[in-house]
Amino acid sequence: MTVNDLPPLLAEALTARGYATLTAVQSAVTAPEAEGRDLVVSAQTGSGKTVAFGLAMSAELLDAGPPRAPIALCIAPTRELALQVSRELMWLYEKAGVRIATCVGGMDASRERRALGSGAHVVVGTPGRLRDHLERGALELGSLKAVVLDEADEMLDMGFREDLEEILDATPGERRTLLFSATMPKPIVALAKRYQRDALRISTVGEDRGHGDIAYQAVTVAPADIEHAAINLLRLHEAETAMLFCATRDNVRHLHASLVDRGFAAVALSGEHSQNERNAALQALRDGRARVCVATDVASRGIDLPTLSLVIHVELPRDAETLQHRSGRTGRAGNKGTAVLIVPYPRRRRVDMMLRGARIAAEWVEVPTVEDIRAKDHERLLVKLLAPVEVDEEDRALATRLLAEKSPEDIAAELVKLHRASMPAPEELIAGTPEARKAKHEEGHRPGFDDTVWFRMNVGRRQRAEARWILPVLCRRGHITKNEIGAIRIAQGETWFQVPRTVAPRFAQAVARSADPQGEDENGIRIEQAPAGATPPDQGGGAPRGGPPRSGPARKGPPRR
């Protein structure tokens, strides 16, 4: 379907906004078979679904007469999404004279009640605020002809079931119900069954998977290096606006504090922030005072930042739909974006399966190194300094004075130094691929490791021990760096490793302080110095000379973080 097939007032509004054709979901909800029916629609973020349900209600809204009691109700999970819906419907129905009232938490409730009392064709709001107006008698739903539930799955996840049921129970039985949900879990199916009649199922997720304007990348890291990888990705891309996703508000708080401490202009969005704090954070991103936003999935709903070009999944999304929703914050309105997944080594297979299921062709790339970032900084600095600029006479006079005191090379070097000092320092990561690190740490003596002491820990191949997660454990518990760990020998039930003799006493004391009375850490891992003269077992297993360590737990993967 084309824009010209729509009612003239809507076609004119869409054309003015640059629409030449409709998106897949917009075409589906305006098709003849969808006319007048209840709909259950699955469409991904950035697919134009807000305009889609606006078009789907055209029969009810066009020629509706003077505004009295609302004839359409749109419910969204967050304030930002509700305001976005309201803005979209305003320009879409501006020439049709449709009046829209918005009712969301954090706004003046008395002003909203006055707007409702003055009459509105459409009410857009969040469940809690709408329920409040309904119970106070300010919201009259007896004349409704259409109800839209936007991001229905998120509203149920956020605990709005009772609010939704009270609102829907107060609406006429003959109204249309348009349910938009990215996923269809059992609670959504039950909701549709209870409040819809013979609903038409529409899904356009498969047609637009992967967002054509988003380049997907994935990097594998040791679990201990996740935060460092996020920092290096931010520094490599230097995006005008970037969003980093965490799974919990505690992790958002921790990562935000860490980024601010390192010098990033960052804000945070999670369920623990008030509406005023959210507004301030979003305004800082829009006016450029902040360039990085750390957020949870729910807190990011409805956020539309035109300059957002980088999304980093610091903690992996729970499924393909969440991946799509997160990544859809970028690559919008024809702009290009990049979405990067930070994948702990043990979870690579799971991520591969998720990407295949979502039909996303992600490029697996190396984590940016310090050298990569410095090379990129050099390129950016050259572009910036070689760009033409307007210089006033006062600046030119100061430049002349500087040249009289110092050589051009010294001045340029100082300028480079100042530029570099203004940027957060990149992080050193555990180098190389798992295979490269395994070869490096299992090859035997390295230079500087001629005089070493063997230590051993009670996990081995049987517990899926691998050098890629053993190294961070040793560094964390022993307060040493990876460069102070020599050869690593992984046997069936235990792992042996070398520490320089000069470092061994300090390492042993730190390990003891991090252990419980049984000598184990919170993951059941015991580290102890091997008896004098004992040597590690063969790589295939077998007890070493000097006796095996005490039996440990049958672990099945890397330690919990």
pLDDT at 319 (0 to 100): 83
Q: DSSP characters for 332-370?
A: -TT--EEEEEEEEGGGHHHHHHHHHHTT--PEE-PPPPH
Task: Report, as an integer, the average pLDDT of 426-433.
Answer: 65
Q: Would you state the pLDDT for residue 425? A: 82
Domain boundary among 158, 186, 208: 208
- Which amino acid, one-letter code, is at 322? T
- Based on the fold, state whether residues 490 and 350 are members of the same structural domain: no
Which amino acid is located at 196 in the chain? Q
Residue 150 CB-half CA count within 13 A? 28
Q: Is 556 domain-assigned?
A: no
Q: Where is average pLDDT lowest: 91-105, 131-145, 262-276? A: 262-276
Q: Decide if 333 is inside a domain.
A: yes
405-426 b/e with 16+ CB inside 10 Å = b? Answer: eeeeeeeeeeeeeeeeeebbeb
pLDDT of residue 205: 63
φ and ψ of 176, to 5 deg: -85, 145
pLDDT (0 to 100) of residue 480:
87
* 274 & 332 share domain: yes
100 domain-assigned: yes
- Strands ordered across the beta sheet of 214-221: 266-269, 292-295, 241-245, 308-313, 337-344, 214-221, 363-364
Which tokens in the block code for residue 334? Answer: 């024809």
Report long-range pairs for 208-212 (Cβ below 8 Å, ≥24 apart): 208/23, 208/24, 208/43, 208/44, 208/47, 209/44, 209/324, 209/358, 209/359, 209/360, 210/358, 210/359, 210/360, 210/361, 211/44, 211/46, 211/324, 211/327, 211/328, 211/331, 211/337, 212/331
pLDDT classification of 45: cutoffs 50, 70, 90: low
Structure tokens that stand for 250 in this block: 């505690």
Give the span between the Cα atoms of 262 and 253, in whole angstroms.
14
Pairwise pLDDT comparison (482 vs 334), residue with the higher score: 482
Q: Which residue has better confidence, 303 or 315?
A: 315
Question: What does the pLDDT read at residue 347?
Answer: 87
Instruction: Please check whether residues 341 and 450 belong to one and the same domain.
Output: no
Residues in the chain: 561
In the Cβ-directed half-sphere of 224, how many Cα atoms lie within 13 Å? 19
Average pLDDT over residues 95-100: 92
- 114-121 long-range contacts (CB < 8 A, ≥24 apart) are 116/70, 116/140, 118/67, 119/66, 119/67, 119/68, 119/69, 120/67, 120/70, 121/61, 121/64, 121/67, 121/70, 121/71, 121/72, 121/93
Query: Which of 132-136, 164-168, 187-191 has the lowest average pLDDT?
Result: 187-191
Residue at 116: amino acid letter: L
Distance of CA 464 to the CA centre of its chain: 29
- With 0-12 / 13-18 / 19 or more C-beta atoms within 10 angstroms meaning exposed / middle / buried, residue 166 is middle
Asked whether residue 39 is assigned to any structural domain, the reply reads yes
Tokens found for residue 90: 């305003």
Sign of CA dihedral 133, 71, 64, 12: positive
CA angle 316, 320, 322 (to 5 degrees): 65
Give 342-369 pLDDT, tens digit per residue. Answer: 998 888 888 998 898 888 889 999 899 8
**Can you tell me the distance from the alpha carbon of 448 to that of 531, in angstroms, rounded to the nearest whole number?**
22
- What are the backbone dihedrals phi and psi of residue 26, each rounded to the nearest 5 degrees, phi first? -65, -40
Q: Tokens 């360590």, residue? A: 549
Q: Which of 368, 393, 412 is the last residue of a domain?
A: 368
Do 443 and 417 share a domain, yes or no?
A: no
Give the CATH number for residue 501: 3.30.70.330
Q: Are the CB atoms for 33 and 22 separated by under 8 Å?
A: no
Residue 520 zone, left/alpha/beta (φ > 0; ψ -120 to 50; rest): beta
3-state secondary structure of 122: strand
Say yes or no to pLDDT of 444 above 50. no
Determine how many CB atoms are found less than 10 A away from the CB of residue 366. 12
Give yes or no for residue 461 having a pLDDT over 90.
Answer: no
Say if 540 falls within a structural domain: no
How confident is the prediction for the chain on average, in pLDDT? 84
Say what angle helices 504-513 and 467-478 make with each other, to 10 degrees: 90
31, 59: one domain? yes
Q: How many domains does the chain contain in total?
A: 4
- List, in sequence order, every beta strand (DSSP E) within 240-347: 241-245, 266-269, 292-295, 308-313, 337-344
516 inside domain = yes
Residues 306/167, Cβ–Cβ less than 8 Å: no
Claim to verify: residue 414 and residue 347 sit in the same structural domain: no
Quick one: 242 and 289 in the same domain?
Answer: yes
Residue 537 has pLDDT above 60, yes or no: yes
Please, which pLDDT band fits residue 399 given cuts at 50, 70 and 90? confident
Element (DSSP H or E) covering residue 133: helix 127-135
CATH number at residue 63: 3.40.50.300
* CA gap 69, 134 in Å, rounded: 13
| pLDDT above 90 (res 540) | no
pLDDT for 442 beyond 60: no
Q: What is the pLDDT of residue 69?
A: 92
Residue 546 lies in a domain: no
Structural domain harbouring 287 = 214-368
Host H or E run for residue 394: helix 393-405
Residue 486 has pLDDT above 60, yes or no: yes
User: Percent helix, strand and coil across the chain, each rounded to 5?
Assistant: 45, 15, 40
Tell me, letter by letter, the H, E, C secondary structure of 183-204: CCCHHHHHHHHHHCCCCEEEEC
Whether residues 356 and 399 share a domain: the answer is no
Q: Is there a single domain that holds both residue 202 and residue 223?
A: no
Among residues 498, 500, 501, 482, the alpha carbon closest in space to that of 536 is found at 498
Tell whether 334 and 381 lie within a shared domain.
no
Provide the pLDDT for residue 206: 55
pLDDT tens-digit profile of 551-561? Answer: 333 344 444 44
Say whether both 512 and 451 belong to one domain: yes
Residue at a domain's end among 179, 208, 237: 208
Partners of 497 in the β-ladder: 455, 488
- State the average pLDDT over residues 134-138: 94
187 C-beta neighbours (distance < 10 Å), count: 14
- In three-state secondary structure terms, 245 is strand
Q: Average the pLDDT over each of 218-222, 295-299, 489-493, 550-554 and give the range with the smallest value.
A: 550-554
Q: Is 559 part of any domain?
A: no
* pLDDT (average), residues 146-152: 92
Q: How far apart are CA 351 and CA 360, in angstroms?
A: 11
User: Would you give the distance in Å from CA 143 to the centre of its chain?
Assistant: 40
Do 59 and 188 lie in one domain? The reply is yes
